[in-house]
Amino acid sequence: MASAGSIEQTFVRLEDGIQRLTLPLPTGPKHVHCYLVDGTLFDTGLGLGEAPWSSAAVERIAITHFHPDHVGGAAAAAAATGAPVFQGGLDYAQCERVWGSKDWPERMAAWFTRHGVPAAVVDDLIEQGHAFAAFIRYALDPELLYEGSELDGWNVVELPGHADGHLGFLRDGVLISGDHLLQRISPAVGLYPESRPDPLGDYLASLARTIELMPRVVYPGHGEPIGNAAERARELIAHHRERLNVTAAALSGEPRTAYDVSLAVFGAELSPTQRRFAVAETLSHLERLVREGRGARAGDGGTVTYTGP
């Protein structure tokens, strides 16, 4: 990654005593935010290119979730600052399982195959998965956080859905939300292997929890601060209710794989990467429908299929 741009990257002072550092991403929303508040650095970017860690007064590093654009720079940030890293207990277990293992892409590929994904799309995953994993330098053996933990006055809140072990940090009405709540993007909620079985159910509950917590302002991993968190949470609940109806409409008495359903719900024109996200997102909705009695799953061991009621 070009370092010419990264020299310009500096912390920008926002309200609430918060400093924000915006790092570039090669894909997706094209940027990710890290926040520095009273010595606590929240999230660390992808870890490609340089970041001004050594110039910042970082006393501790907190990770919202194990996705590459949040945890990938953790080892570099810890090395540059000498600060300890704090990460969710469940999140770190998943981080190790995914980025710390040699055969995660193969395990993921076998799982997608069972859900009807064609070989070309699966093979691309194996190739990309191995190319990518080497760059994700998470910090080994962080101090683990759980629901109810406290970190320099921040209350740790578990907000599963976008990631099983996703944490939020709440203090004085300020919520550092990672990717749990975003203003313009509907955070991806996908089902993946070796993870919690009903991520959309988790996410809807975490959105309801966000409404109860009533944060005054939310600082997200991507996009601008969110002042109307409850309203945004309600929008996202309504969005997923609608997506559940669209997914349910794609089911019939005829067994269909999650891949087949994803073609009906997301269309046929997707890149292999987009298709995998679409299948994972379709699966989180299918599994929620199963739990709501609006669908049934069959095929433990072999190809997994879903039918309507």
Q: Which residues lie near Zn ion (CB under 5 A)?
A: 67, 179
Q: Which is nearer to Zn ion, 115 or 180 (CB)?
A: 180
Q: Which is nearer to Zn ion, 69 or 260 (CB)?
A: 69
User: Distance of alpha carbon 119 from its chain centroid, rounded?
Assistant: 26
Q: Which is nearer to Zn ion, 67 or 240 (CB)?
A: 67
Residue 309 CA to residue 305 CA, distance in Å, equals: 13
Say if CB 196 and CB 203 are below 8 A apart: no
Q: How far is the CB of 188 from Zn ion (least distance, A)?
A: 7
Q: Which is nearer to Zn ion, 67 or 288 (CB)?
A: 67
Residue 102 CA to residue 284 CA, distance in Å, equals: 26
Q: How far is the CB of 97 from Zn ion (least distance, A)?
A: 16
Locus of tokens 């991993």: 221
Q: How far is the CB of 73 from Zn ion (least distance, A)?
A: 14
Q: Which is nearer to Zn ion, 162 or 256 (CB)?
A: 162
Give Cα separations from 210 to 75, 79, 230 (angstroms): 30, 34, 7
275 backbone dihedrals φ, ψ, rounded to 5°? -65, -40
Q: What is the dihedral of CA 142, 143, 149, 150, to 10 degrees?
A: -100
The DSSP element (H or E) to which 99 belongs, if any, is: helix 89-99
210 backbone dihedrals φ, ψ, rounded to 5°? -60, -40
What's the token pair of residue 19? 């400093």
Which residues, in sequence order, are bridge partners of residue 23? 32
Q: Which is nearer to Zn ion, 32 or 233 (CB)?
A: 32
Say if CB 37 and CB 172 are below 8 A apart: no
Q: What is the dihedral of CA 189, 60, 39, 159, to 10 degrees?
A: 20
Q: Which of 137, 131, 119, 121 is nearest to 49 (CA)?
A: 137
Q: Which is nearer to Zn ion, 67 or 171 (CB)?
A: 67
Give the CA count within 13 Å in the CB-facing half-sphere of 199. 23
Q: How far is the CB of 53 from Zn ion (least distance, A)?
A: 21
Q: How far is the CB of 179 from Zn ion (least distance, A)?
A: 4
Q: How far is the CB of 206 from Zn ion (least distance, A)?
A: 13
Say if CB 204 and CB 237 are below 8 A apart: yes
Q: How far is the CB of 45 from Zn ion (least distance, A)?
A: 12
Q: How far is the CB of 192 from Zn ion (least distance, A)?
A: 12
Amino acid sitting at position 207 = L
Q: Which is nearer to Zn ion, 179 or 287 (CB)?
A: 179
Position with the least CB separation from Zn ion: 67
Q: How far is the CB of 249 from Zn ion (least distance, A)?
A: 28
Q: Which is nearer to Zn ion, 67 or 232 (CB)?
A: 67
